[in-house]
Structure 1
Amino acid sequence: MAAPNEVTFRLSRRRSSVPRARALLHAVLGSWGAGPDALQTGELVLSELVTNALRVRVPSDRLVGVRIARLVDEGLLRLEVSDAGDGKPEVRQPGEDETGGRGLQLVEAMAHRWGYEARACGIGKIVWAELKVPGLAPERDGIEVAAVAVRAGQRVRVWGAWHVVRSVGMERSSSDGGRDTLVLELGEGPALRIDSTAPLTV
């Protein structure tokens, strides 16, 4: 089953929600095949957005909403954080002695674009940021080639899953008219033995 293109969840209004949001994002991006740079940038931006939402003055029982989405056609990761508070998020220019107030500066510097909008329910707002992460594009279904054309390092779809080919070998059978059997050593599981002319998806 293909991974979904978006994940949503809610967080309670407590400091521990920031690392929880990072951990959930890490798990989602891992399932989408994101690299370490995308993980680090995404976690940093989401941390700032969640931290800002937690600072907004709202009734204590109001939760913070998070939406993580991949816009595959554009190669973008979209992070949304919603809260029930009023106000307009603005990039501040804190003084040198101030220890805070730089969250949206960081978001602006790291995001491809960012902004905010009113929530559909009419209460509160959604602050969002989009990051360029081309690797989030969905995997192609692959192309079909003769098994003999497969090379080490490629991925082949066998037994209902994708497997990395570690090495390619050939066995010639003394029986069966001396036909060649291709032997693919895979990253996981047993070796695949297949007629060299049989089709494989790579």
Structure 2
Amino acid sequence: MAARRTASGTEDKQLSLIEQARRDQLIRITIDLVAEHGYAGASLTRIAQTAGITKGAVLYHFASKDAVVAAAHERVLGELVSEVKAAVEAVPADQAPAAYVRRMVGHLAERPDHARMIIGAIANGDIPDPSARRKPLTSLLQDARQARGLPPGPDLRTLAVIVGGAIDAILAERLQDGGYDAQAAAEALITMLETALFA
């Protein structure tokens, strides 16, 4: 059983299977509502109505709307990080940046609700340390150069910022146009990245 968190963030008791199932349901509903209506449109009332329960019942499981949204964002981010990490760990270090880009774009293109949730969190300022988005990629870039025996080269922090911005742009384009080939765009980005990284 998982522990339920109080408004102050402390654990107050173990969750029953029913409570855990309800929390999972509320998180899934919140992801869907943020994807469809944006952060502002995912009100506590709308979350409760969609779940078929009262606002008070939602507040039994989460201290506030912000707490439900934070749990939904944490779930989406956790799934993304897990998938990207597995892709990166499955290839040699010099291929890890390409695997990172492919899986990041692939995961979010396949799950537009997750992409909207993450974009909403960024736009809403809910990501406390924006540099946390680029640090893993910067490390992958450094490791890739070292794996090829290359000396320190381009400004890898800036390269990571550029790649992160390009991934955001690819996903935004895909969200605007469902027919946009995000994977082809990811491959073009990889070609540009590897030219800058390994030249």
Normalising by structure 2, we get a TM-score of 0.27
Which structure carries more relative contact order (alpha carbon 8 Å, separation 6+)? Answer: 2
Larger-Rg structure: 1
The two structures have a TM-score, normalised by structure 1, of 0.26
